[in-house]
Structure 1
């Protein structure tokens, strides 16, 4: 699967390899077989699992439960090693740069694609899919060229966030 197809599916479902908000650490371990580093906060209440350019965040209650995640695509511009390792373990192949236009075109072909709200983030645009709790940050500075970082029109990152619960 291409990274663009993967991102379009993620925007539609809010799920990565079948996991998402509320998944347990054990479910993540079964779904993603890739090397990682765990970073637990000093109080032992939150965990960040870092797979390189992909990170998942967990809160601790009775068990570690996923509360969010991010795909830091801008990290791929400085070198393809992370993408090659990820492709080997997950079957998803990301290019060095991911153009938002390519993701948007792929999303248009996905049945039930969510509506996207657009916001300005000062040099970036945020495309937010409220239905799936996924947002995409895109470089919006026309002066930014591709090099060791993403350029104008490229996806900077994609984030999964937990819905706000009414009290």
Structure 2
């Protein structure tokens, strides 16, 4: 599977390899067989699992439960080995630079694609899919267009994040 296909599916469903908000640490271990580093805060109230350019966040309880995550695509520009290792363990092949135009085009072909709202983040644009609780941060800096190489450039996806929905009171 290509990284573009993967991201379009993630934007639609809020699921990565079948896991998402509310998945337990054990479910994540079964779905993602990739080396990682676990970082637990001093109070033991949160866990960040870092897979290189993918991170998941967990809250404690009877089990650690996923509360969010992010795919830091900008890291691939300077670390193509991260993409090769991820492809080897997950079967998802990411390019060195992920153009938002390519992801939008693929998303347009996905049945049930979510509606996106856009906001300005000062040098970045944020596209939010409220239906799936996924947001995409895109470089929006004309000066970055010529810097593409070891950096994400204008129009490239910087990161994709999954967040827990806010419950009404």
Question: Within 5 Å, which residues of 2 pair with 1:152-167?
Answer: 152-167=154-169
Count of residue pairs brought into register by the alignment: 167
TM-score, length of structure 1 as denominator length: 0.99
| Structure 2 CA distance for aligned equivalents of residues 88 and 73 of structure 1 | 17
Alignment-derived partner of residue 105 in structure 2: 105
Gaps of 5+ in 2: none
Query: Can you list the C-alpha shifts for 1:64-100, whole angstroms capped at 9, x where unaligned?
Result: 0000000000000002100000000000000000000
TM-score, length of structure 2 as denominator length: 0.98
| Structure 2 CA distance for aligned equivalents of residues 131 and 152 of structure 1 | 27
Question: Within 5 Å, which residues of 2 pair with 1:73-152?
Answer: 73-144=73-144, 145-152=147-154
User: How far has the Cα of 1:121 moved from its partner?
Assistant: 0.1
| Structure 2 CA distance for aligned equivalents of residues 60 and 122 of structure 1 | 34
SS, match of residue 49 in structure 2: strand
Gaps of 5+ in 1: none
CA RMSD of aligned residues (A): 0.5
| Structure 1 CA distance for aligned equivalents of residues 154 and 57 of structure 2 | 28
Question: Within 5 Å, which residues of 2 pair with 1:44-83?
Answer: 44-83=44-83
SS, match of residue 82 in structure 2: helix
SS, match of residue 160 in structure 1: strand
| Structure 2 CA distance for aligned equivalents of residues 25 and 165 of structure 1 | 22
Query: Can you list the C-alpha shifts for 1:101-131, whole angstroms capped at 9, x where unaligned?
Result: 0000000000000000000000000000000
| Structure 2 CA distance for aligned equivalents of residues 17 and 153 of structure 1 | 26
User: How far has the Cα of 1:147 moved from its partner?
Assistant: 2.0
